[in-house]
Structures are given as C-alpha cells and as structure tokens.
Chain A
Amino acid sequence: MSENPLRDAIEEAIKENEVILFMKGTPEAPACGFSARTAAALQALNAPFAAVDILPDPRIRQELSALSGWPTIPQLFVKGELIGGCDIVMELYESGELAETLGVEPPADAPEPAASSTQSPPLGIENRLG
C-alpha cells in the first residue's frame, strides 16, 4: 500500500474493470452533457461498463487526473488504458472504432446515442453540484 489509498483504489478499479467510465453523475442520471453523451455511446453499443461518479468527493477527480494526465471528466478506460474524454469517444463511436475497441458488434443501423441528438451546449449544472 502506498500512502495514497484513494489513488490506489482508483488504480485498482481501472485494473479490475475492463471498461470503466469516470463521469459526473451516473449513466441513469448524468450531471453533465459530456458525461451523458459518453455514457450514451457505450449504452448504444450495449457495451457493459463500470461507471464511477466523481462528484461525491473532489479528491477523486484530482487523483484521477494526476494519474491519467487528462484534465477533464469524463474519462473512459478500456483494459487499463485511457481512451479519452467525450470528444474522442464520440469520434470513435461515429467511425465504428469504439465498437472495435470494446470488442462488441456495431449496431446495424448505427443510431445516434440518445443524448447527442440535442445540439444544445451542456448546461452548467455540474458547477452547482461540484
């Protein structure tokens, strides 16, 4: 054990879950448009994934970003490796690479993830919660 049990716990979670998404809120009740779109892309592919809500404790985000070198939330990890945030996940989803990375069948009609159908910018709700 190092002197940083929270960082150990995050590392452990990334190692133990093949697909893990760190997000604001939960997949059912996302608290940020970026997190919502990223979770929706995974759900559209029926990919099983673990989700961690980083909002309850600001230290989770600090430790996660220190660990990954990625400043923003959400962050998607597959097989222990950082795939990216919302922009990259959406690019990969649209190109079909996300299904490949996750090892799932791309949907035949490639529907847009539900949360991305609205083009409106994300609201600042995460500021109030964070």
Chain B
Amino acid sequence: MPTADEIKQRIEAAIPGATAEVEDWTGGGDHFRAVVVSPAFKGKTRIQQHQMVYAVFGDEIGGPIHALSLKTQES
C-alpha cells in the first residue's frame, strides 16, 4: 500500500524539476490527490501532462492506487 509520501517522492524522481504535493484523500491509502508543478510540462496539453504523471505509476493506477486525482501546473 503506497503512502502519500512515497507517491510524492516517485513523482519528483521521475519528472524533471517537479515538485509534488500529495495527500491521501480518504486516509485509506488508495485514493490520492496530487498537485504537481514542473517545467517539464511546458508546451504540453493538460492530457499530456496528466499522462506523464500517470506513466510514473503504470498499472498501479486502477490497482493498488485506486485513484490519483491530479492538478498539473507548468513552472
């Protein structure tokens, strides 16, 4: 079961220059909410930005991570 902190660290490690704020939405360890800011989002559509974050977790989304609600911003 991932923690909010693990998810934050994985996003920040995978996306160049990213800072992430992650909260466990329900306290149950499977619904998370993240705000991710990165210069790597420049020139990308919202869909592409979210896909970059989802790609960090692959099959875990929909599996152990039931839901990851995202807000992405270019820095």
Chains A and B come from one and the same complex: yes
Taking Cβ atoms with an 8 Å cutoff, the residues of A that contact B are 34, 61, 65, 69-72, 82-88, 91, 121-122, 124, 127
Summarize B's interface: helix, strand, loop or mixed: mixed
User: Do A84 and B54 have beta carbons less than 8 Å apart?
Assistant: no
Question: Which 4 pairs show the lowest CB-CB distances between chains A and B?
Answer: A71-B61, A121-B26, A121-B25, A71-B54
Number of A-B contacts (CB under 8 A): 42
Across the interface, do A87 and B26 meet the contact criterion of CB distance under 8 Å? no
Contact-residue bracket for chain B: 10 to 19
Q: Are B69 and A87 in contact (CB under 8 A)?
A: yes
Nearest residue in A to B26 (C-beta to C-beta)?
Answer: A121
CA A119 to CA B61, docked complex, whole Å: 22
Give min CB distance, A128 to chain B, whole Å. Answer: 12
Contact B46 A69 (CB under 8 A): no
Beta-carbon contact of A72 and B46 below 8 Å: no
B17 at the interface (CB under 8 A from A): no
Query: What B residues does A82 contact at CB under 8 A?
Result: 47
Given A70-B51, A71-B61, are A127 and B66 neighbors across the interface (CB < 8 Å)?
A: yes
Complex contact B50–A87 (CB within 8 A): yes
Q: Looking across the interface, which residue of chain B has its beta carbon closest to that of A120?
A: B26
Q: Which of B47, B61, B68 contacts A88 (CB 8 A)?
A: B47
- Are A87 and B31 also in contact (CB < 8 A) when A71-B54, A121-B26 are? no
Q: State in angstroms the CA–CA spacing of A127 and B31 once bound together.
A: 12
Q: Does B40 contact A (CB under 8 A)?
A: no
A26 to B46, CA, bound (A): 26
Residues of chain B from 54 to 73 with CB closer than 8 A to chain A in the complex: 54, 57, 59, 61-62, 66-71
